[in-house]
Amino acid sequence: MINLKLKTIASLINKSDHVIDVACDHAYLAIYLKKNKLCQSVIASDISAQALNGAEKNIKEANLDIPTFLSDGFTNIPDKSLDTAIIAGVGTYTILDIVKSAPNNIKKFIISSNNNYAYLREKMANLGFYCDKEIVIKEHNKFYPIMVFIKSNKKDNKFKLKYGKSNNPEYFNYLIQKEKDIINKLDKISISKIKHYMEIHNLKKCLKGKKQDY
């Protein structure tokens, strides 16, 4: 049941970690972590009652004991012994809201956003989190950057904030192609802009000798 993205996230968890999987949905990742004894403890939460019901059913079927919480981010999480939070499969704005509501004891975030990676890296840096590691995987023809943020004053340069620090050459070739596409589009826009400036210039020339005839 566990996909490559969730397996990769699991590979970034240490045995000593006390983990919360925020936005757990089916709780596949929490179940995988618990079953394989990959961390010290794990709890799972989700904002959706329907998702959490499914998670609880899966946990029961796996015969495991994983506490679950119906919670928007950390708002309803009582456990203070946590030190690691996984937030995956939601957008950057939601992730940043969740991170801002996290208690101080969370020292490590493992994040896989659906969008706006550069913005996410920059805002996490502003919140005092340094991207210690980034792995980019490709699944169903889509790239998924998975980032490990730790509490630190260390700062990455602008280039790393924009493009990340994975060592996946396929991903970087994809980014280069994206930049080339933008340049091609910009060229077209510039040519069309010049055309319009010429039109205005011609119109103004036409206008000069014209007398109002009404």
- CA 102 to CA 107: how far, in whole Å? 10
> Contact 20/46 with Cβ under 8 angstroms?
no
* CA dihedral sign of residues 96, 106, 135, 129: positive
Nearest to 87 by CA among 12, 21, 6: 21
What is the footprint of ligand SAM within residues 24-63 (CB under 6 A)?
A: 24-25, 46-48, 51
Neighbour order of strands in the sheet with 108-113: 68-70, 41-46, 18-22, 84-90, 108-113, 142-151, 129-139
Q: Quick one: which of 88, 106, 110, 137 contacts ligand SAM (CB under 6 A)? A: 88
**Closest to ligand SAM by CB, 78 or 169:** 78
Using the rule CB under 6 A, is 23 a contact of ligand SAM?
Answer: yes
Considering the complex, state which of residue 49 and residue 206 has its C-beta at the smaller distance from ligand SAM: 49
73 vs 164 by CB, closer to ligand SAM: 73
Q: Which of 13, 20, 22, 66 binds ligand SAM (CB under 6 A)?
A: 22
Binding flag, residue 134, ligand SAM (CB under 6 A):
no
Residue closest to ligand SAM, measured at CB: 89
99 to each of 4, 93, 107, how far by Cα in Å?
24, 10, 11
Instruction: Please state, in angstroms and rounded to a whole number, the distance separating the CA atoms of residues 71 and 197.
Output: 55
Single out the residue of 59, 94, 113, 146 in contact with ligand SAM (rule: CB under 6 A). Answer: 94
Which residues would be at the binding site for ligand SAM (CB under 6 A)? 6, 22-25, 46-48, 51, 72-73, 88-90, 94, 98
